[in-house]
């Protein structure tokens, strides 16, 4: 093969490679390097070995953030794997007016998280529509403190994440559902299978790879949760700062002229390892399922 | 084989260049601090300088004022040229931090003391006391002190424009609660009594006061005489007086004097509440009146103003915006001349006539403009009240109270308000958290 033909693909890839290098590879190396320093923007820094990681291990704030992030993944991911599938099945039939519902469910995806957060803050106020509804239906006697109680605040944030993500994952499922052969459903129906049985025996096995993809994507998104918490729980992350996620804490300690950038970089690296670990675990699960 | 080798070589080259690039940007140095100006440098007023302001160009009148002032400076000092850069407030800190790291800060930068303090601690800005020892006497004392760091020598900025809050209140809500709208609260006790009466009358539809912890918690402590931070930069605000204050806030929150969700809300929510007519009292600078007039004309009609509240003998609060000259500036003489020019009495008076802010030079404050409220508007009354309060005003927010410290402190105070921590424990933990972040007492 002539050298020119070897170089051509590299030349074509050069812009994309340059972007990846400048905006991903270099910042990644820089983060790794900074995580071993006590760097602050204003004063600079020096190498401190594993000091930052040692400090993380004994930091209550770090473990609180990590615990909340893990809880976020555990609650949000199953909901974002199951609910959009049900929603996709609901809006899949090609009947007049259905496209309106598809577009409606997708709207939160394109809305800014800040706008979505502010809408939910209004809905969840102690004297807001949700509490009014609950009280009118006699579900509760006193309004629920969705925005001031530490535990409820975290679940309020999760609710927003799920609500905003539904439309996006619904579209992914719609594509997968369109590829499920109709004959499979017909054959199952002839064999006497009802709707629920066909869902478990035909739909779920057919879209399982997509469910795993949605699981991975929503898990990565849940690991990075920040805006929901900032908008709904406020800049302190709720009373006592108890609703903080890892990214919230990373931003808090690392930003500003005086931010502890080295410490924040170490935390980012730990988050990176957690995320990679989770992704690898889900991929392994995916392979085992395919083999089974 | 050849193809594989070439691929491997290209791959290795890409990886090596990536690593090289990564390492090239891996300096661990802090900001470039430059050097102090020599007498020669300071006496040379010529050449080009850049001048960065914080979000002033969005107001066309202000933009014109800045452009005209720059033109007047260039006329007075032939051979000089000023390039004006207006930076949006959001993200300004990151931009200035990056500029400082690169030794590339504009020659004259508009910042508030809290914004500038971490850079000043590294010695980024010129000491104005050293550059022009006579200058301090021309400015409002409290404002000049705003650019001094406790325990260190010198002043690292020149105060430019000031705002000092007044008590704004909704006369309509006062009347609805059976209170006399002409009898404005003058003490914290009166304020809290009025707030309780209004919230009771509002029964959830409107409230007397929003705690706006983000904005007022620490300054209110200073206004009742609680020492916030000592000379050794150790936070000290867990005093018995502070405990009493927090206990009162908690009682008011739990008894419904404040809106139920207010404990986690920000200053913006308090502003919105006042503009929506659901909060009766909102302490703010006179410039907020323009916003109310624009966004909520009905509330503006009902708005009355009164002096800022502080305990007897204690200072009131003011916000200071200043101009700072980085030591990396290549035209320090021009930068200093421009700073003095734009903050002189004539130019600051003109500024105050365009925007409802107060000048930092005492000479400008003596102008009848700040004492003339004969037009009967709340704006002119607010400007007069605000200007007259400057004598006892200080920037009460310590420069060390950055976002990280503020969030750590307020997180504990929120727990006191919701009743999950006692006021004593909340304040002790808040002080401990603040000292841990700022290294107080080390």
Q: Which residue of A has its CA nearest to B429?
A: A240
User: Which has the higher per-residue pLDDT, B308 or A199?
Assistant: B308
Residues from chain A contacting residue B6 (CB–CB below 8 Å) = 3, 6
For the cut 80, the answer to whether the pLDDT of residue B11 exceeds it is no
Collapsing DSSP to helix, strand or coil, A36 comes out as coil
Return the closest-CA partner of residue A160 out of A80, A280, A99.
A80
Six token digits for residue B83: 């390039």
Q: What is the pTM of this model?
A: 0.86
How many angstroms separate the CA atoms of A254 and A244, rounded? 15
Record: contact A256-B118, CB cut-off 8 A: yes
Could you read off the pLDDT of B426-438 as tens digits, one per residue?
A: 999 999 999 998 8
What's the confidence (pLDDT) of residue A2? 63
Record: contact B28-A44, CB cut-off 8 A: yes
Residues from chain A contacting residue B411 (CB–CB below 8 Å) = 236-241
User: Which has the higher per-residue pLDDT, A169 or B392?
Assistant: A169
Cβ contacts of B10 within 8 Å, gap of 6 or more: A10
User: Which has the higher per-residue pLDDT, A115 or B102?
Assistant: A115
Record: contact A26-B21, CB cut-off 8 A: yes
Instruction: State the smallest CA–CA distance between residue A191 and chain B in angstroms.
Output: 55
What's the confidence (pLDDT) of residue B192? 96
Segment B231-249 shows an average pLDDT of 94
Whether chain B has a CB inside 8 Å of the CB on A64: the answer is: no
For the cut 80, the answer to whether the pLDDT of residue B213 exceeds it is yes
How many angstroms separate the CA atoms of B199 and B202, rounded? 5
Residues from chain A contacting residue B14 (CB–CB below 8 Å) = 17, 21
Whether chain A has a CB inside 8 Å of the CB on B190: the answer is: no
Record: contact B403-A241, CB cut-off 8 A: no
Indicate the residue of B30, B406, B407 with minimum beta-carbon distance to A43: B30
Could you read off the pLDDT of A235-248 as tens digits, one per residue?
A: 999 999 999 999 99
Indicate the residue of B261, B403, B418 with minimum beta-carbon distance to A256: B403
Residues from chain A contacting residue B265 (CB–CB below 8 Å) = 234
Segment B374-378 shows an average pLDDT of 89
Segment B90-96 shows an average pLDDT of 81
Whether chain A has a CB inside 8 Å of the CB on B25: the answer is: yes
Instruction: Collect contacts of A88-95 with beta carbons under 8 A, ≥24 apart.
Output: A88/A170, A88/A171, A88/A173, A88/A174, A88/A177, A89/A173, A89/A177, A89/A199, A89/A203, A91/A170, A91/A174, A92/A174, A92/A177, A92/A178
Record: contact B418-A148, CB cut-off 8 A: yes
What's the confidence (pLDDT) of residue A23? 92
Segment A196-222 shows an average pLDDT of 91
Q: How confident is the model at residue B44 (pLDDT cuts 50, 70, 90)?
A: confident
Beta bridge partners of B139: B361
Segment B267-288 shows an average pLDDT of 93
Residues from chain A contacting residue B28 (CB–CB below 8 Å) = 37, 39, 44-47
Indicate the residue of B97, B214, B404 with minimum beta-carbon distance to A41: B97
Torsion, Cα A191 A197 A201 A202, to 10 degrees, reads 80
**Which H helix or E strand runs over B359?**
strand B358-359
How many A-B residue pairs are in contact by the CB < 8 A criterion?
Answer: 138
How many angstroms separate the CA atoms of B181 and B183, rounded? 5
Instruction: State the smallest CA–CA distance between residue A184 and chain B in angstroms.
Output: 46
Q: What is the ipTM of this complex?
A: 0.84
Indicate the residue of B7, B118, B204 with minimum beta-carbon distance to A257: B118
Segment B78-95 shows an average pLDDT of 89
For the cut 90, the answer to whether the pLDDT of residue A15 exceeds it is yes
Six token digits for residue B99: 């500029």
How many angstroms separate the CA atoms of A254 and A97, rounded? 49
Residues from chain A contacting residue B417 (CB–CB below 8 Å) = 239
Q: Say if residues B156 and B111 touch (Cβ distance below 8 Å).
A: no
Q: How confident is the model at residue A58 (pLDDT cuts 50, 70, 90)?
A: very high
Collapsing DSSP to helix, strand or coil, B111 comes out as strand
Whether chain B has a CB inside 8 Å of the CB on A233: the answer is: yes
SS3 assignment for chain B: CHHHHHHHHHHHHHHHHHHHHHHHCCCCECCCCCCCCCHHHHHCCCEEEEEEEECCCCCHHHHHHHHHHHHHHHHHCCCEEEEEEEECCCCHHHHHHHHHHCCCCCCEEEECHHHHHHHHHCCCECCHHHHCCCHHHHECHHHHHCCCCCCCCCCCCEEEEEECCEEEEEHHHHHHCCCCCCCCCCCHHHHHHHHHHHHHHHCCCCEEECCCHHHHHHHHHHHCCCCCECCCCCECCCCHHHHHHHHHHHHHHHCCCCCHHHHHCCHHHHHHHHHCCCEEEEEECCHHHHHHHHHCHHHHHHEEEECCCCCCCCCEECEEEEEECECCCCCHHHHHHHHHHHCCHHHHHHHHHHCCCEECEHHHHCCHHHCCCCCCCHHHHHHHHHHHHHHHEECCCCCCCCHHHHHHHHHHHHHHHHCCCCHHHHHHHHHHHHHHHHCCCC
Q: How confident is the model at residue B335 (pLDDT cuts 50, 70, 90)?
A: very high
- CB atoms near residue B137 (< 10 Å): 9
What's the confidence (pLDDT) of residue B4? 61
Return the closest-CA partner of residue B388 out of B365, B355, B369.
B365
How many angstroms separate the CA atoms of B427 and A107, rounded? 44
Could you read off the pLDDT of A146-155 as tens digits, one per residue?
A: 999 989 999 9
Residue B323 phi, psi (nearest 5): -120, 130
Could you read off the pLDDT of B142-187 as tens digits, one per residue?
A: 899 889 877 778 899 999 999 999 999 999 999 999 999 999 999 9
Whether chain A has a CB inside 8 Å of the CB on B30: the answer is: yes
Segment B330-355 shows an average pLDDT of 94
Whether chain B has a CB inside 8 Å of the CB on A58: the answer is: no
Record: contact B402-A10, CB cut-off 8 A: no
What's the confidence (pLDDT) of residue B24? 47
**Which H helix or E strand runs over A64?**
helix A60-91
Collapsing DSSP to helix, strand or coil, A231 comes out as helix
What is the dihedral sign for C-alpha B398, B407, A231, A255?
positive
Instruction: State the smallest CA–CA distance between residue A8 and chain B in angstroms.
Output: 12
For the cut 60, the answer to whether the pLDDT of residue A42 exceeds it is yes
Residues 145-184 of A with CB under 8 A from B: 145, 147-149, 153
Instruction: State the smallest CA–CA distance between residue A6 and chain B in angstroms.
Output: 8
Instruction: State the smallest CA–CA distance between residue B282 and chain A in angstroms.
Output: 20
How many angstroms separate the CA atoms of B202 and B198, rounded? 6
Indicate the residue of A25, A26, A239 with minimum beta-carbon distance to B411: A239
Q: How confident is the model at residue B336 (pLDDT cuts 50, 70, 90)?
A: very high
Whether chain A has a CB inside 8 Å of the CB on B1: the answer is: no
What's the confidence (pLDDT) of residue A122? 93
Strand spans (E) along B202-325: 207-209, 279-284, 303-306, 316-317, 319-324
Cβ contacts of B134 within 8 Å, gap of 6 or more: none
Could you read off the pLDDT of A256-284 as tens digits, one per residue?
A: 777 899 999 999 999 999 999 988 888 88
Residues 82-121 of A with CB under 8 A from B: 121
What's the confidence (pLDDT) of residue A279? 87
Instruction: Collect contacts of A98-105 with beta carbons under 8 A, ≥24 apart.
Output: A102/A170, A102/A174, A105/A166, A105/A167, A105/A170
Segment B266-274 shows an average pLDDT of 93
Q: How confident is the model at residue B1 (pLDDT cuts 50, 70, 90)?
A: very low
Percent of chain B with pLDDT over 70: 93
Cβ contacts of A143 within 8 Å, gap of 6 or more: A126, A127, A131, A134, A135, B260
- Interface mutation vs chain B, best among A257, A259, A264, most B CBs within 10 Å: A257
Segment B256-270 shows an average pLDDT of 93
What's the confidence (pLDDT) of residue B17? 53
Residue B264 is classified by DSSP as G
How many angstroms separate the CA atoms of B367 and B16, rounded? 67
Q: How confident is the model at residue B201 (pLDDT cuts 50, 70, 90)?
A: very high
Record: contact A237-B411, CB cut-off 8 A: yes
Indicate the residue of A28, A39, A240 with minimum beta-carbon distance to B28: A39
Segment B238-260 shows an average pLDDT of 96
**Which H helix or E strand runs over B109?**
strand B108-111
Return the closest-CA partner of residue B37 out of B340, B353, B327.
B327
Q: Which residue of A has its CA nearest to B19?
A: A26
Least confident range of A6-10, A174-178, B200-204, B273-277: A6-10
Segment B289-315 shows an average pLDDT of 94
What's the confidence (pLDDT) of residue B13? 56
What is the dihedral sign for C-alpha A73, A76, A82, A84?
negative
Residue positions counted in chain B:
442
For the cut 90, the answer to whether the pLDDT of residue B411 exceeds it is yes
What's the confidence (pLDDT) of residue B52? 96
- CB atoms near residue B101 (< 10 Å): 18
Residues 378-417 of B with CB under 8 A from A: 402-404, 406-408, 410-412, 414-415, 417
For the cut 70, the answer to whether the pLDDT of residue B27 exceeds it is no
Q: How confident is the model at residue B18 (pLDDT cuts 50, 70, 90)?
A: low
Residue B332 phi, psi (nearest 5): -65, -35
Mean predicted lDDT score pLDDT of chain B: 89
For the cut 80, the answer to whether the pLDDT of residue B378 exceeds it is yes
* Burial of residue B236, with CB atoms counted within 10 A of its CB: 0-12 exposed, 13-18 middle, 19 or more buried: middle
Record: contact B119-A42, CB cut-off 8 A: yes
How many angstroms separate the CA atoms of A42 and A195, rounded? 63
Helix and strand totals (H; E) in chain B: 20, 12
Whether chain B has a CB inside 8 Å of the CB on A234: the answer is: yes
């Amino acid at each position: 093969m002539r050298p020119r033909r070897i170089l051509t693909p590299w030349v074509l890839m050069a812009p994309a490679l340059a972007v990846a290098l400048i905006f991903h590879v270099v910042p990644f190396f820089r983060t790794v390097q900074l995580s071993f320093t006590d760097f602050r923007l204003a004063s600079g820094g020096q190498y401190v070995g594993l000091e930052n990681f040692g400090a993380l291990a004994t930091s209550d704030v770090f473990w609180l953030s990590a615990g909340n992030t893990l809880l976020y993944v555990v609650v949000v991911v199953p909901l974002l794997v199951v609910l959009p599938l049900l929603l996709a099945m609901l809006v899949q039939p090609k009947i007049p007016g259905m496209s309106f519902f598809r577009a409606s469910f997708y709207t939160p995806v394109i809305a800014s998280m800040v706008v979505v957060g502010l809408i939910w803050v209004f809905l969840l106020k102690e004297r807001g529509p949700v509490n009014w509804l609950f009280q009118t239906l006699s579900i509760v006697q006193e309004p629920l403190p969705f925005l001031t109680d530490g535990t409820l605040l975290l679940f309020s944030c999760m609710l927003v994440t799920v609500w905003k993500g539904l439309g996006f994952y619904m579209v992914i499922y719609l594509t997968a559902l369109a590829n499920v052969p109709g004959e499979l459903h017909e054959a199952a129906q002839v064999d006497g299978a009802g709707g629920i049985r066909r869902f478990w025996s035909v739909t779920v096995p057919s879209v399982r790879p997509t469910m795993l993809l949605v699981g991975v994507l929503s898990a990565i998104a849940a690991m990075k949760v920040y805006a929901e918490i900032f908008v709904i729980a406020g800049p302190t992350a709720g009373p006592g700062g108890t609703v903080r996620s890892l990214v919230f804490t990373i931003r808090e300690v690392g930003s500003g002229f005086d931010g502890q950038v080295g410490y924040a970089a170490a935390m980012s690296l730990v988050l990176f390892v957690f995320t990679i670990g989770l992704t690898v675990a889900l991929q392994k699960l995916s392979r085992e399922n395919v083999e089974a | 084989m050849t193809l594989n080798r070439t691929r491997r070589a290209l791959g290795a080259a890409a990886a090596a260049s990536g690593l090289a690039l990564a390492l090239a940007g891996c300096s661990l140095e802090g900001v470039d601090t430059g050097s102090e100006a020599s007498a020669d440098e300071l006496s040379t007023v010529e050449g080009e300088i850049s001048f960065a302001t914080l979000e002033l160009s969005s107001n066309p009148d202000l933009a014109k004022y800045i452009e005209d002032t720059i033109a007047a400076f260039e006329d007075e000092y032939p051979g000089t040229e000023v390039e004006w850069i207006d930076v949006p407030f959001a993200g300004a800190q990151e931009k200035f931090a990056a500029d400082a790291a690169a030794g590339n800060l504009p020659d004259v930068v508009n910042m508030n003391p809290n914004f500038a303090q971490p850079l000043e601690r590294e010695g980024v800005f010129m000491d104005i006391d050293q550059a022009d020892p006579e200058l301090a006497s021309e400015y409002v004392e409290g404002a000049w002190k705003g650019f001094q760091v406790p325990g260190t020598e010198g002043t690292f900025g020149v105060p430019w424009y000031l705002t000092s809050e007044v008590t704004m209140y909704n006369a309509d809500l006062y009347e609805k609660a059976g209170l006399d709208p002409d009898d404005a609260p003058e003490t914290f006790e009166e304020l809290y009594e009025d707030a309780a009466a209004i919230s009771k009358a509002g029964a959830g539809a409107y409230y007397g006061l929003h705690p706006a912890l983000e904005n007022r918690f620490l300054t209110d402590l200073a206004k009742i005489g609680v020492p916030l931070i000592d000379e050794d930069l150790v936070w000290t605000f867990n005093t018995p007086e502070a405990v009493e204050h927090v206990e009162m806030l908690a009682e008011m929150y739990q008894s419904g004097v404040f809106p139920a969700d207010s404990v986690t809300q920000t200053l913006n929510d308090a502003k919105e509440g006042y503009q929506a007519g659901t909060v009766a009292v909102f302490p703010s600078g006179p410039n907020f009146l323009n916003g109310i007039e624009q966004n909520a004309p009905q509330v503006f009609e009902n708005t009355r103003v009164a002096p800022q509240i502080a305990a007897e003998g204690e200072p009131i609060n003011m916000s200071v915006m200043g101009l700072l000259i980085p030591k990396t500036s290549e035209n320090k003489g021009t930068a200093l001349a421009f700073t003095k020019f734009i903050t002189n009495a004539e130019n600051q008076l003109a500024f105050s006539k365009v925007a409802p802010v107060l000048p930092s030079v005492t000479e400008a404050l003596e102008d009848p403009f700040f004492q003339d409220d004969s037009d009967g508007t709340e704006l002119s009354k607010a400007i007069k009240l605000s200007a007259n309060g400057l004598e006892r005003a200080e920037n009460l927010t310590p420069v060390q109270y950055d976002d990280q410290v503020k969030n750590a402190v307020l997180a504990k105070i929120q727990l006191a308000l919701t009743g999950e921590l006692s006021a004593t424990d909340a304040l002790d933990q808040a002080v401990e958290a603040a000292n841990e972040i700022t290294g107080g007492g080390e």
